[in-house]
Amino acid sequence: MNFPLDDAEREFRTRIRAFCQQSLPSELALKVEAGAELGREDYVGWQRILAASGLLCGAWPKAYGGQDWSALQAYLFDEECALAGAPWLLPFGVNYVGPVLFTFGTPEQKARFLPGIVDASTFWCQGYSEPDAGSDLASLRTRAVRDGDHYIVSGRKIWTTMAHWADRIFCLVRTNTDVKPQAGISFLLIDMKSPGVSVRPIVTMEGRHHLNEVTFDEVRVPMSDRVGEENAGWNIAKFLLGHERLLVAEIGKQKRIMRAIRRRLAVGGLADAVDVRLRLAELDVRLAALEWTALRTIREAGHDGPSAASVGMLKTRGSELEQALTEFAFDLLGSEALAYDPHFSAVTGLPPADGVTARMLAARATTIYGGSNEVQRTLIARTLLGK
């Protein structure tokens, strides 16, 4: 049941598949397939391999070092990498602050920061959520007060993925408390090594550390590191949030999880159980529905990009499917699931059960992050009800 692609698109997909086969280190693919814990070098190493072949920022305009990929090419690229067992391609530089910079940045900012993204030498993280500002992001309180040609920044960001590895953080901060919340926000680029920046690790349910709390204690940030006008940051945030949500259907990853389920069943005792076979069929249908919806969304997208409701749907259905798949894989483990070490090492052959459990636990976050599924449903309903 293959989605119609033209010759150029098929050729592109073949090219990416061949690249991954040739250039993705097999030990890294083994770790990713097994659901093992990845380190900084795993993520950055893969980015550098892509950068060396000009594939890291393929979706960027040629003028900024990209290849002007269409949305469909970007989609095919993501899918092929995931299927090959590539690690999650960190979006913070490539998909978030990079496009922000070439859309809203000054020539000086572009010259300073874009090369480090294109060659994967700068590790970026995203400072958005705060303890009291999650779904209601606009209510954020991290304060940036002018002091000559600097801002003094104080506040706390939370759920900051990989802040402990990052060189720089892009932050939404409050520069005006006298106006409605959205009208008083600015977008700052902050050096993680600045005096006053501290990072506290947060361990999540699967027992691994990738999230953090970042505290800013009177951190001096040059005004030249503000992107866009002062108090015009919310528009930049909305631009970026649109990009964030498009990425989360993750079809390639779902297919890889299904493949792992089938591989495990082939050596276990449940492959012929009727309920298991029917359940697999149900999940196949859900995956196909998601895949064709993603491709249809891309094809149907107009000049302004895909509809907000479609993007919301892909995020919602994608996260729910990931939970259903990882739950099913976990259930199939039976009492093998009881032994669990989140820091297990990947081995050749059938991956340890720990990876299945780690993925099931970690997947509980997919319906919460990137705009919770509750928020997505409200968004969809608003478009239907004309609110």
Partner 1 sequence: MRNLLTDEQAQFADAVDRFVAREYATGPAAPRHAFDRARHVRLAGLGCLSLSVPAELGGIGGGVEIMLASERLAPALIHEPFLPVLHATALLSGAGLPVEVQPHLESIMAGELVAVVAAGTVLPLATRSPSGWRIFGRVSMVPSAADANLFIIAARTDAGQTALALVERAAAGISLTPAPRLDGQPAAHLDLTSVEISDHLLLSGGNIGALLDSALNMLEMAEAAAMVGLMTAAIRTTADYLRTRTQFGVPLSSFQVLQHRLADMWMACEEARSLAYAAAVSIDAGSDQAAQAVSFAKVRACDAAQLVAAESVQMHGAVGMTDDLIVSHWFRRLAALRSEHGGRRRHLARIAA
Structure tokens at 84: 């090959």
Select 108 or 275, whichever has its Cβ closest to partner 1. 275
For residues 358 and 210, what is the distance between their CA atoms, to the nearest angstrom? 13
Shorter beta-carbon distance to partner 1: residue 310 or 357? 357
Beta strands 168-174; 124-127: pairing state: parallel
Residue number, 203 or 350, with CB nearest to partner 1 = 203
Cβ closest to partner 1, residue 252 vs residue 342 = 342
Nearer to partner 1, 298 or 353 (CB): 353
Asked whether position 365 contacts partner 1 by CB under 8 A, the answer is yes
Q: 3-class SS at 62?
A: helix
Q: Which of 21, 282, 374, 383 binds partner 1 (CB under 8 A)?
A: 374
Q: Which of 64, 88, 239, 340 binds partner 1 (CB under 8 A)?
A: 340
The vertex-149 CA angle with 143 and 151, nearest 5°, equals: 10
CB of 310 to partner 1, least distance (A): 22
Report the nearest approach of partner 1 to the CB of residue 315 (Å).
Answer: 15
Check: CB of residue 188 under 8 Å from CB of residue 170: yes
The Cα 198–Cα 191 span in angstroms is 11
What's the CA gap between 124 and 191, in Å, rounded?
A: 10
**Residues 25, 61, 134, 305: which binds partner 1 (CB under 8 A)?**
134
For the segment 186-215, give every residue that binds partner 1 (CB under 8 A). 202-205, 207, 211
Q: Which of 135, 177, 224, 345 binds partner 1 (CB under 8 A)?
A: 135
Among 267, 335, 385, 386, binds partner 1 (CB under 8 A): 335
Cα–Cα distance for residue pair 279/211, rounded to 1 Å: 33
> Which residue in 140, 223, 143, 157 sits closest to 189, CA to CA?
223
282 assigned to active site: no
One of 80, 206, 213, 244 is an active-site residue; which one? 244
Q: How far is CA 209 from CA 38, 39, 200, 212, in A?
A: 10, 10, 10, 8
Paired with 61 in beta bridges are none
Contact status: 333 vs partner 1 (CB under 8 A): yes
Within positions 155 to 184, which residues make up the interface with partner 1, using CB under 8 A? Answer: 158-159
DSSP helix/strand/coil, 144? strand
For the bound state, the minimum distance from the C-beta of residue 280 to partner 1, rounded and expressed in Å, comes to: 15
- Residue 333 C-beta: closest distance to partner 1, Å: 7
* Distance, CA of 214 to CA of 315 (rounded, Å): 27
Alpha carbons 163 and 149: distance in angstroms, whole number? 26
Residue 2 interacts with partner 1 (CB under 8 A): yes or no = no
CB 290 within 8 A of CB 298: no
Q: Which stretch binds partner 1 (CB under 8 A): 42-50, 94-102, 127-135, 260-268?
A: 127-135
Phi-psi region of 89 (alpha: psi -120 to 50; beta: other; left: phi over 0): beta
C-beta closer to partner 1: residue 119 or 336: 336
Residues acting as catalytic residues: 244
Binding stretches for partner 1 (CB under 8 A): 129, 134-136, 139, 158-159, 202-205, 207, 211, 275, 323, 327, 330-331, 333-335, 337-341, 357, 360-361, 364-365, 367-369, 372, 374, 377
